[in-house]
Amino acid sequence: MSTSVRREVVLPVSPEELWPALTEAERLADWFAPDVDIDARPGGGAVFRWEDATRRAVIEEVEAPRRLSFRWAEMGEAGAAEPSRVELTLEEVAEGTRLRVVETAAGESLPATAAMLGAGDAWEHLLARLRRSRALVVA
């Protein structure tokens, strides 16, 4: 197990209808990033550009319309950061499609930031958050 973030959302369309929104540049540009280049094939590249950031991705798995995974990292002044892995899975449900997102952190080294913890149960709270999948039903 590594550090990861999980989210899920249920969307009122079929997996087949949702798939292009996740894999086609034109559709991605409408919600994900204003400027998108993507070659949604295993080994293909993708670039997502926002006003203040650019992320590059390498596509890993593509199983239309069920599963898409890639590694990506932000392009910083010092070159690329260590990439994290993103997995998107689509599951057909009565209300449409359940889309699950899992982003898993890459590295294990831990640069120091401000010291924290001490009193309180901040980490307990955080663990609960880690386990919780957020379900947003778009009706």
Partner 1 sequence: MTPRRDAAGPVFTALADPTRRELVQRLASDGEATATELSAELPMTRQAVSKHLALLEDAGLVATTRAGREVRYRLNAPPLAEAMAWMAQVGGRWDERLAALGRHVERTRTPAGRRRSR
Residues that bind partner 1 (CB under 8 A): 1-3, 5, 7, 9, 11-13, 17-18, 21, 27, 30-32, 52-53, 74, 76, 81-82, 84, 99, 101, 103, 105-119, 122-124, 126-127, 129-130, 134, 136, 138
- Provide the minimum distance between the beta carbon of 108 and partner 1 in the complex, in angstroms, as a whole number: 5
Least separation in angstroms between CB 83 and partner 1: 10
For residues 103 and 115, give the distance between their C-alpha atoms in angstroms, rounded to a whole number. 25
Q: Are 96 and 75 in contact (CB under 8 A)?
A: no
- Closer residue to partner 1, CB minimum distance, 9 or 64: 9
Q: Given the complex with partner 1, which of 43 and 79 has the nearer CB atom?
A: 79
Q: What's the chain's length in residues? A: 139
Distance separating alpha carbons of residues 100 and 97, to the nearest angstrom:
10
> Is residue 105 a contact partner of residue 4, using CB atoms and an 8 Å limit?
yes
